[in-house]
Amino acid sequence: MPLRTGSGVDEMTKAITASPEALALERIADAAREVQAASAALQRHFGVNGGAQPSALELARFAAAMQDLRDAREEFDRLQAQNRP
């Protein structure tokens, strides 16, 4: 069963059947995509024009995305540590 789906029923099924580790990995992937998108938004300011300043909102989005990625990775690491013999 694929983890990325669009319907609410599939989301409910995923929540019931997916392991905590699989859900944590999906959270990491989602957070990484958000970091990538926020980074791309920042990179537009440093392209051809070179010196344009990103907005405070763009910087805050990037910082929040990085924090979410760190949190997701820490949660995954915690789950892995719990499952070690």
Higher pLDDT, 46 or 30: 30
Q: Is the pLDDT of residue 54 over 90?
A: no
Burial (CB count <10 Å: 0-12, 13-18, 19+), residue 31: buried
pTM over 0.75: no
